[in-house]
Amino acid sequence: MQGVLLGVMYWNVKVGGSPMICLVLTGGTIEASVSQYERNKEYVDIVELRVDLLHESSRSRVATFPSLVDVPVILTIRRQSDGGMYIGSERSRLALLESCLDGKFDYVDIEDDVKRSMAEQKAREAGVRIIRSKHDFSGMPNDIYHRIAKISAKGDIPKLAVTPQSILDLITLFRVRTELKDVEDKIVLGMGDFGLPSRILYKRMGSLWTYCAETPVAPGQISVQQMKELYQADKVDDRTHIYGVIGNPVNHSFSPRIQNPGFRGINFNAIYLPFLVDSVRSFFILAEMLKISGFSVTVPHKQQVLPYLGKITREVKQIGSCNTVVRAKNLWSGTNTDYYGFVEPLIPDIDSKEIQSALVIGAGGAARSVVWALRNHGCKVTIINRNLERAKNLAQETMTAYDTLEHAKLYEHVDLVVQTTSVGMVPAIEEDPIPDYTFNKNQIVYELVYRPKYTKLLQRALEAGCRLHFGIDMLIRQGKHQFESFTGYHYPKRLELSLDLEED
């Protein structure tokens, strides 16, 4: 009884209050669902009991569930066509929904195409709010604003879970907030990788809550812990500065784990999240719309952002690529922190003349930052690459020397060896771009691959007694430089040790 009272009390507090984080319960039994809630209690404001995920034997006890937790509960029995697991006729599903409503649920999710059901009638009589849901796993209906307005006019809560296929689709979703200002109670979310920003910035979407799970059950869903701890999505307000990383793919970027804790460390009201971007041009429209304050740029957009920048640094101009964009007065300004992240630890050795000559393996995008940085600091550089033409082009542009990969042994006397290709990266960890090259203990060896930390090449260099520089440290350094560009502050010192990105 106490649980029921508590549930009602929470309901009163939360509805019309601040938006919430909803945990989708995926346990197979009532007990497992309660435990799942208990484990994640600190993160959630509301839970959704997915009866379709419960074993048949637990379904008769669904009505007891709301009294076992002290937050509002949504009752849902999702059919397979909407991404659920309910097997059985539509008639039996609706009958089950109706009987479950004997419990004191706060909300019931009834699909938008289910008309005049007994469950609906029972819910209305009991004062249970109805969420009218529509799922689209392959795209976006072209009448989303109309659908939302229509459902809302009936007093129900519209829930639209659609699958944006591009940044333009995501823009359409984010426009819901301004197009439907008067519809206060609504849930709109984009599934899949393009949709992730709409899940995290659900408050900017004007959604009542966002759905998370302990182990994600829908496309693009993230764990409740990530939502609450990494992104602190529920703390976003109208003054929160939005930052992000754009790329394709992008959702596995480490950058949110560098930037978000940093923002918190300096008490900066800001959030940093991944944006899967198919068109840079569209992203700049979204960036204006969401008033994005700055963003990191990763493959394949580092060159494509250049035409949109009003101001660039000398390094961006030289390298022809930009990995950091910040909003300056009325224009976007671009820098390249890969350049500094790379060269910074070498400067003492360059200044002391310990490094005067360098061999750079590779002539791709990463090599461009490396070669320009070394050359600008007065090192004598030779580029070796599988594709000789590419090495030649970069060498001519940077006024350095070049050769084929097979001739690596001719350069065993250099002070510094830098490995910029993808060779040796997981999963091909046994590969080595210069297997016949003999290192000597006076050399410094710099590997840009960060997964694994010790590539085959670095292991050989270690055995030869060389001094090593790791890709993971460069990644962190460039991230810290981005943080400075974004905030104007140094990255908080006390957080530095917690950036152990190797585990992933």
Catalytic positions, written as ranges? 302
CB closer to ligand ATR, 321 vs 335: 321
The piece of 42-50, 99-107, 274-282, 364-372 that touches ligand ATR (CB under 6 A) is: 364-372
**Residue with the two structure tokens 């819910």:** 123
Cα 170 from chain centroid? 15
The least CB distance from residue 167 to ligand ATR, in Å, is 22
Contact positions with ligand ATR (CB under 6 A) in 416-455: 420-423, 433
Which value, in Å, is the radius of gyration of the alpha carbons in the chain? 27
Residues 6+ apart with CB under 8 A from 286: 167, 170, 171, 174, 275, 292
- Please work out the total of residues on this chain that contact ligand ATR, with binding judged by CB under 6 A: 15
Q: Which is nearer to ligand ATR, 180 or 434 (CB)?
A: 434
CA 346 to chain centre: 31
Closest approach of ligand ATR to the CB of residue 398, in Å: 14
Contact pattern from residue 213 through residue 252 relative to ligand ATR, giving x for each residue in contact according to CB under 6 A and a dash for the rest: ----------------------------------------
Asked if 485 interacts with ligand ATR (CB under 6 A), we say no
Q: Would you call 201 helix, strand, or coil by DSSP? A: coil
Q: Whose Cβ is closer to ligand ATR: residue 208's or residue 361's?
A: 361
Stretch that binds ligand ATR, among 325-333, 343-351, 380-388, 491-499 (CB under 6 A): 380-388
Nearer to ligand ATR, 349 or 431 (CB): 431
Strand ranges for 388-487 from DSSP E: 401-404, 416-419, 444-447, 467-469
Residue (69 or 363) nearer to ligand ATR, CB: 363
CB atoms within 10 A of CB 182: 7
- Could you give the CA distance from residue 221 to residue 196 in angstroms, rounded to a whole number? 7
Nearest to 486 by CA among 241, 229, 289: 241
Report whether 70 contacts 92 (CB < 8 A).
no
Candidate residues 54, 366, 371, 444; the one interacting with ligand ATR per rule CB under 6 A: 366
Q: Applying CB under 6 A, which part among 14-22, 40-48, 362-370, 485-493 lies near ligand ATR?
A: 362-370
Q: What is the dihedral of CA 476, 482, 484, 485, to 10 degrees?
A: 170
- Minimum CB distance to ligand ATR smaller for 378 or for 435: 435
Q: Is 364 in the site for ligand ATR (CB under 6 A)?
A: yes
**Amino acid at position 44, single letter:** V
Minimum Å distance from CB 319 to ligand ATR? 11
What's the closest the beta carbon of residue 390 comes to ligand ATR, in angstroms? Answer: 4
H or E stretch including 177?
helix 176-179
Question: Nearest 5°: phi and psi at 311?
Answer: -150, 135
Which of 386, 392, 451, 467 is the binder for ligand ATR (CB under 6 A)?
Answer: 386
**Binding mask 313-352 vs ligand ATR (x if CB under 6 A, - otherwise)?**
----------------------------------------
Cβ at position 422, least distance to ligand ATR in Å:
5
Options 12, 64, 356, 387; binder of ligand ATR; rule CB under 6 A: 387
CA distance 476 to 478: 6
Strands 357-361, 380-385: pairing is parallel
Beta-bridge mates of residue 384: 361, 403
The CA-based dihedral angle spanning residues 232, 233, 235, 237, taken in that order and rounded to the nearest 10 degrees: 150
Q: Cα(180)–Cα(162) distance, rounded to whole angstroms?
A: 17
Between residues 380 and 390, which has the closer beta carbon with respect to ligand ATR? 390
Q: Pick one of 88, 261, 365, 452: the residue that binds ligand ATR (CB under 6 A).
A: 365
Of 205 and 457, CB closest to ligand ATR: 457
The region of 16-24, 187-195, 358-366, 480-488 touching ligand ATR under the rule CB under 6 A is 358-366
Structure tokens at 156: 């129900």
- Specify whether the CB–CB gap between 323 and 296 falls below 8 A: yes
Helix 471-487 and helix 255-265: axis angle, to 10°? Answer: 50
DSSP lists the bridge partners of residue 297 as 246
Candidates 221, 255, 298, 385; binder of ligand ATR (CB under 6 A) is 385
Residue with the CB atom nearest ligand ATR in the bound state: 364
Tell the smallest beta-carbon distance from residue 433 to ligand ATR (Å).
5
d(CA 60, CA 341): 59
Q: Three-class SS of residue 106?
A: coil
Of the candidate residues 287, 363, 414, 445, the single one contacting ligand ATR (CB under 6 A): 363
- 358 versus 367: smaller Cβ distance to ligand ATR: 367
Give CA–CA dist 374/255, Å, rounded.
Answer: 25
**CA gap 60, 51 in Å, rounded:** 10
Site string for ligand ATR, 79-108 (x = CB under 6 A): ------------------------------
Binding site residues, ligand ATR, CB under 6 A: 362-367, 385-387, 390, 420-423, 433
